[in-house]
Amino acid sequence: MKTKFKDLTIIELNEFKDNRGKFKRIFCSSLFKKNRLNNFVQVNHSVNKSKGTLRGFHYQKGKFAEDKLVYCIKGSIWDCVIDLRKKSKTYLKVFGIKLDGGSNTMLYVPKGFAHSFLTLKDNSEVIYFSSNFYDPASEGGVRYNDSKFKIKWPIKPKLISDKDKTFPDFKS
Question: What is the rounded distance in angstroms from the CA atom of residue 51 to the CA atom of residue 38?
Answer: 31
pLDDT of residue 62: 96
Q: Which residues of the chain have pLDDT under 50?
A: none
How many Å apart are CA 172 and CA 141, to the nearest integer? Answer: 13
**Active-site residue 91, yes or no?**
no
Which is the catalytic residue, given 71, 108, 128, 144? 128
Partners of 100 in the β-ladder: 76
Domains of the chain: residue spans and CATH: 9-165 (2.60.120.10)
Q: Which of 45, 58, 108, 144 is catalytic?
A: 58
Q: Where are the beta strands (DSSP E) in 25-75?
A: 42-48, 53-60, 68-74
pLDDT in the model for residue 45: 95
Q: Is 58 a catalytic residue?
A: yes
Compute CA distances 63 → 60, 86, 112, 132, 138, whole Å.
8, 17, 12, 9, 8
For residues 169 and 118, give the distance between their C-alpha atoms in angstroms, rounded to a whole number: 20
Report the run of H or E that residue 76 belongs to, with start and end. Answer: strand 76-83
Query: pLDDT by residue (tens digit) across 105-151?
Result: 999 999 999 999 999 999 999 999 999 999 999 999 999 999 999 99
Per-residue model confidence (pLDDT) at position 97: 98
pLDDT, position 37: 72
